[in-house]
Amino acid sequence: MRTFQDIIASRDWQNPSAVRMHTLPAHVPLHSYRHVEDARQGTTSRRHYLNGQWAFKLYPTPEMVEASIIDPAEDLSAWKQIDVPGNWQMQGVDHPIYTNVKYPFPDRAPEVPEQNPTGCYACDFSVAPVAGEQTRILFEGVNSAFHLWCNGQWVGYAQDSRLPAEFDLTAYIHTGHNRLVVMVMRWSDGSYLEDQDMWWLSGIFRDVYLYHKPAIAINDVFLRPELDALYQDGSLHVTTKLSQQTTTHHVEVRLFDATGQPVAMQGETCCATNHNAVDEKGGWADQVEHHLTISRPRHWNEQTPYLYRCVVMLLDAQAQVIECEAFAVGFRTVAIEDGLLKVNGKALLIRGVNRHEHHPETGHYVDEATMIKDILLMKQHNFNAVRTSHYPNHPRWYELCDQYGLYVVDEANIETHGQFPMCRLSEDPQWNHAYMQRMIGLVERDKNHPSVIIWSLGNESGIGLNHHAMYQWTKQRDPSRPIQYEGGGADTVATDIICPMYARVDQHQGGVNPKYAIKDWIGRPGEQRPLILCEYAHAMGNSLGSFAKYWQAFRQYPRLQGGFIWDWVDQGLSQWDEHGQHYWAYGGDFGDEINDRQFCINGLIWPDRTVHPALLEAKRAQQFYDIGFDGQHQLTLTSEHLFAEEALICCWTVLEDGVAISTGEHAVIMAPESARTIELPLDHGLYQSGKTYHLNVDLLLAEATFWAPARHSVAQSQFELKAVYSRSDAEPATPSAEIRVSESDEQVIVAVADQQWTFHRGSGYLTHWEQQGEQRLAAPLKDHFYRAPLDNDIGTSEVDRPDPNSWMARWKQAGLDRLTGRCVAMSVETGEHAVTIKTQFDYTAVAETAITEQAATTGQVLRTQWCYTINQHGELHIEVDVYPCAALPSLPRVGFSCALPLTERVTWFGRGPHENYPDRCLSARIGCYDATVSEMHTPYIFPTDNGLRCDTRKLSLGGISVQGEFHFSVSRYSQAMLETARHTHELVADEVVYLHVDGFHMGIGGDDSWTPSVHPEFLLDAPHYHYQVVLTAAR
């Protein structure tokens, strides 16, 4: 019996050999049902949950914890009440810390900081033990390490915050009132293995429950469902491990279908079969084997995740049921054949995403409703796989993935990203036991889930002997699943799948562990494995540019089998400022001096599960249907589904200048891997010259499914139609009026009918535009070449340490954020039908370094030439030529900006309705849309440029109309404010509307967020740009 003082003195929390003490061996989740029907239905489990309010007290260090806390008579009235499950930092105690790579404490592994906040929990409960039964307690997740006492007696110790820790309480409890005390250390040697890109949060953050087992009990069950070579008939191999040897008990296995009907069973198998198993502590237990055959079972896959129910019964000598355990069974096979990852013989295309367990209010405790919301959003946006980055998830998550049909890469809780070198602990035999226990616990807990198709050895820990030991053990224990691991170069002998992170489609990246272009990687000499990106398309803020290129490659090269986007949800924490304004907090917002700022804000959805525009792009690129059109009447639909047919409604709409003029629907049943053609009754004779026509096609679910309602859109496309002949004349022009020109030394005034434009000779700007005495402008039209930097533009820059290779650093070095323009020429030409005003601007920059010899002499980095033409119809035609200095970096944008009087409605004919950028616009179709100015703003947690709409033909806003071919954005926030604000609540709306009209806009990139990732065709580095628009007053 260890005393409290012995425990404190031993400092088990910084001993990598002391991973677990007095815990039960790892096994699948158990319920100990007492009746077959309870087991079949999954009801009346003998679990007794201790979730709820626990007493809590925080100490600065373990050494400062008073020994009296373990006394069952300790007065808890002064302790704080805290929710379990939950992280204590999310409940007003201590503070969260976010880091991506660096440890938030000195790296002296295995030693931990002396200042080690220690949370002590106490819970009183009542129990009525039954003689001959065992009472167990299970903690699903505690961060990072803990000691447990029951009624003043030490029970045991555990670490690994993401795996269950289970103890036998039988010897410590008594009838009536009992008390548990848990001492949780924020930091332990295990923290060195849990350096994942997430918040450092502490406490009992998953479920805690008691359950009771008979003296002879089922301790573990391993299910191995298989299909024959033709994927027709099935078999189920069941290995049952009992708690001890017996010659009088029997095990029976029954298999039920989803309706509860029995499918197969194998009757009373005597346990005295000499199939004895030795556990890791040398104990013996009976191990019983069953083999069931099933004729033509229904398969489990992403489309039809059919689940059987296997009930394992333990019977006594009189054939009376002692206890039952039950598990979902999915008949599916996983194999790598011919260099392809296959499920049930079909080569998969992984439409995956990395998911952290994150809730903005409760931290690492995620309730079931949020889990289901995540899964439904994934399914509805065409995802079929999820990686549990970077640790075992809550057990309920896997049950839901089984139920809804998501493939899972199940990852061990190991990441040593902050080590230098990263593989230091991975190569150290002293840490072998810790590594192995994390892998063993993962496999033993999750081995029965059909959704788990790949095991992962962890993340970003280099490569070392400990990984090779994990790989070999896992292969021996479960040869039915492949194993992946990216560390050490993504293609070592410790991975069955080439699984790089952030490798590019065409670009080779050098380094110690090169990242080859994925198109080339699969063709390297001797390489026969499939390639699945474990992380790609870094969705940090306004990102996911050129995402469609990956999917072009995946569809072109069979062994490029998809990947997992980084990542699912922005890890912002819900906070309010002193004025009651809500915002999402990130690294550094809690006084955490060691932090990685907003690098935790890289999800496809906001923390409240609102959808980012990038998620819509992902949905479109990875949709399961290709839609082709021959330009006349015929649609071709091709299904990429592998397993089941789908009933769809094919909806088509013809748009004239963005407005629907004809529409229709066709019911269609799409068999897997099939193609269908549909003839559309299009009347090309309706097309008029001078107008633009598009065909929109949407594929909708014909009926509601378990993951989406009826008429949910699963695929879409748009095609530009060509007019066969013209049936209309040109539209009549607006009535003409006299043009009046008034010139002075200071200004030029042009008037047509009820409109008047004023040009200032000194500045060269169009300063005023009036109609019927009302101002249409609140600030002049000015050249604009800069944008509030995106996360992808900022790269790895810190406030005091800019990344010189980032776009932001290059722009600032060239002075693009501090351009000074000077009008060097202005001319006025008056004609019979129009007046033309030409201006020329030379721009100088306060650059950090002269970018050319000419710039060093003259300071000039840009020249623009404006040509305004005002005609008799009151139209303002603007043509702009831009001549950048050759040595300038790619310009963020080429266009103009102005401010308009406050207005709210925006209508446009262009891409929409959601935000889109030149390299992220596949999902945004051309049409007519309207929104409020507020709705046009995308509230990224870390404010940046946002809200662009591309390929616009016409825009109406605040009494003016803009026509041409351009991109635009409107906002109540200036670019300067978007650049200086660090959170959305710091943005203060101005009493004007800022309009940006861009002839050209640089892409946003997104292959990753720390290197310049905008593809060359989306850079603005030409020597000359020309754009033109027409401005008119709305009538």
Task: State the catalytic residue, choosing from 399, 415, 535, 915.
Answer: 535
Q: What is the mean pLDDT of the chain?
A: 94
Q: Is 826 helix (H, G, I), strand (E, B) or coil?
A: strand
311 CB-contact burial (10 Å; exposed 0-12 / middle 13-18 / buried 19+): buried
Kindly report, residue by residue over 434-472, the tens digit of the pLDDT.
999 999 999 999 999 999 999 999 999 999 999 999 999
Residue 335 lies in a domain: no
597 inside domain: no
Q: What is the CATH number for 558? A: 3.20.20.80
**Domain co-membership, 141 together with 224:** no
Of the listed ranges 198-212, 537-551, 715-729, 984-998, the least confidently predicted one is 715-729
Is 460 tagged catalytic? yes
Centre a 10 Å sphere on the Cβ of residue 247 and count the other Cβ atoms it contains: 9
Domain boundary among 214, 229, 246: 214
CATH number for position 674: 2.60.40.10
**What is the average pLDDT across 472-490?**
96
Is residue 734 one of the residues assigned to a domain?
no
The yes-or-no verdict on residue 363 having pLDDT over 60 is yes
List the alpha helices (DSSP H) in 385-431. Answer: 395-404
Kindly report the CATH number assigned to the domain that includes residue 763.
Answer: 2.70.98.10
Same domain? 882 vs 962: yes
Q: Could you tell me where the DSSP H helices lie in 478-568?
A: 518-521, 547-556
Sign for the CA dihedral angle at 509, 514, 518, 521 comes to positive
**Is 156 within the bounds of a domain?**
yes
Residue 583, in any domain of the structure: no
527 a catalytic residue: no
> Would you say residue 65 lies in a domain?
yes
Tens of pLDDT, residue by residue over 969-987, are 999 999 999 999 999 999 9
Number of structural domains, the chain? 5
Does residue 581 contact residue 983 with C-beta atoms inside 8 Å? no
Q: Is the pLDDT of residue 276 over 80?
A: no
Together in a domain, 237 and 174: no
CATH number for the domain that contains residue 18: 2.60.120.260
Q: Rounded CA gap, 841 and 862, in Å?
A: 8
Q: What is the pLDDT of residues 97-118, one digit of tens each?
A: 999 999 999 999 999 999 999 9
Contact call for residues 314 and 249 (beta carbons, < 8 A): yes
Residue 129 pLDDT: 84
**Same domain (yes/no): 613, 634:** no
pLDDT at 277 over 60: no
pLDDT at 725 over 70: no
697-720 pLDDT, tens digit per residue, is 999 999 999 999 999 999 999 999
Q: What per-residue confidence (pLDDT) applies to 274?
A: 45
**CA separation, residue 621 to residues 172, 313, 544, 559, 616 (Å):** 58, 48, 11, 18, 9
- pLDDT of 245: 85
Question: Pick the residue with more confidence: 357 or 683?
Answer: 357
Provide the domain limits for residue 751: 739-1033
The count of C-alpha atoms lying within 13 angstroms of the C-alpha of 79, restricted to the half-sphere facing its C-beta, is 20
pLDDT score, position 514: 74
Shared-domain flag, residues 235 and 165: no
Residues 554 and 634 in one domain: no
686, 726 in Cβ contact below 8 A? no
Among residues 444, 460, 875, 915, the one annotated as catalytic is 460
Q: Which of 214, 240, 255 delimits the end of a domain?
A: 214
Confirm if 140 and 208 have CB atoms less than 8 A apart. yes
**349 domain residue, yes or no:** no
Q: Is there a domain that residue 486 lies in?
A: yes
Is the domain of 228 the same as that of 209? no
Same domain, 223 and 210: no
- What pLDDT was estimated at residue 729? 40
Torsion, CA 271, CA 274, CA 278, CA 279, rounded to 10: -10
Q: Are residues 869 and 841 in the same domain?
A: yes
Checking if the pLDDT of 522 tops 80, the result is: yes
